[in-house]
Amino acid sequence: MLPRHKVGVMTEQASITESEIPDIPGKPTSASRTTLSHIMTHNDTNLLGTVHGGVIMKLVDDAAGAVAGRHSGGPAVTASMDEMAFLEPVRVGDLVHVKAQVNWTGRTSMEVGVRVLAERWNESTPTTQVGSAYLVFTAVDADGRPRRVPPVLPETDRDRRRYQEAQIRRTHRLARRRAIKELREKRAAEGYED
């Protein structure tokens, strides 16, 4: 069983601790895993004649958003995209498969891992990994405010490894934000304007 995160919710009457909030049942990784496939055409190319990185990034965001919405049971918005790596060029006529799954969940956020694979549309050769990314989504309610998400329940050793790696990425993201904020505050206190 994965560790539970402490949640404190303020109401008009009193503070409610996590033990007083009904538990949200966890969901296995496979419950929201998704593959989006798209054939690349001339409309998707850049000036070099390969598929534009922005086209791939949109497919990545679309697949990750579907996974986040499925896992959270409602709307989720992209909070950040980390480590978008383009490993190989994608060409016109490639059939691109974007595979996404929830790697980790917090109280209101989820990390979604994405792998991008490509194969020729008219050949029966193995797929090649052409990209990967990690995105953080926040589940939101009808008013756009963050809402709780079910914990993800890793099912395989690979899922458990991804969960642990996601925790490391989260720790680094938070430390980086904190360090940048402290540097900016220090520079402001010294009279520097940015």
Question: What pLDDT digit, counting tens, does each position of 108-140 carry?
Answer: 999 999 999 999 988 888 999 999 999 999 999
pLDDT at res. 7: 35
Nearest to 80 by CA among 137, 162, 141, 147: 137
- Indicate the SS3 state at residue 122: coil
> Percent of the chain scored above 90 by pLDDT?
81
Whether the pLDDT of residue 17 is over 80: the answer is: no
The answer to whether 109 touches 134, Cβ cutoff 8 Å, is no
The pTM (predicted TM-score) of the whole model is 0.83
- Indicate the SS3 state at residue 185: helix
- Strands, E, within the chain: which ranges? 8-10, 15-17, 27-28, 34-39, 76-86, 94-105, 109-120, 128-139, 152-153
The pLDDT tens digits of the residues spanning 132-189 come to: 999 999 999 999 999 999 999 999 999 999 999 999 999 999 999 999 999 999 999 9
Alpha helices in the chain (DSSP H): 53-72, 157-189
For 41, what's the count of Cα atoms within 13 Å in the CB-facing half-sphere? 2
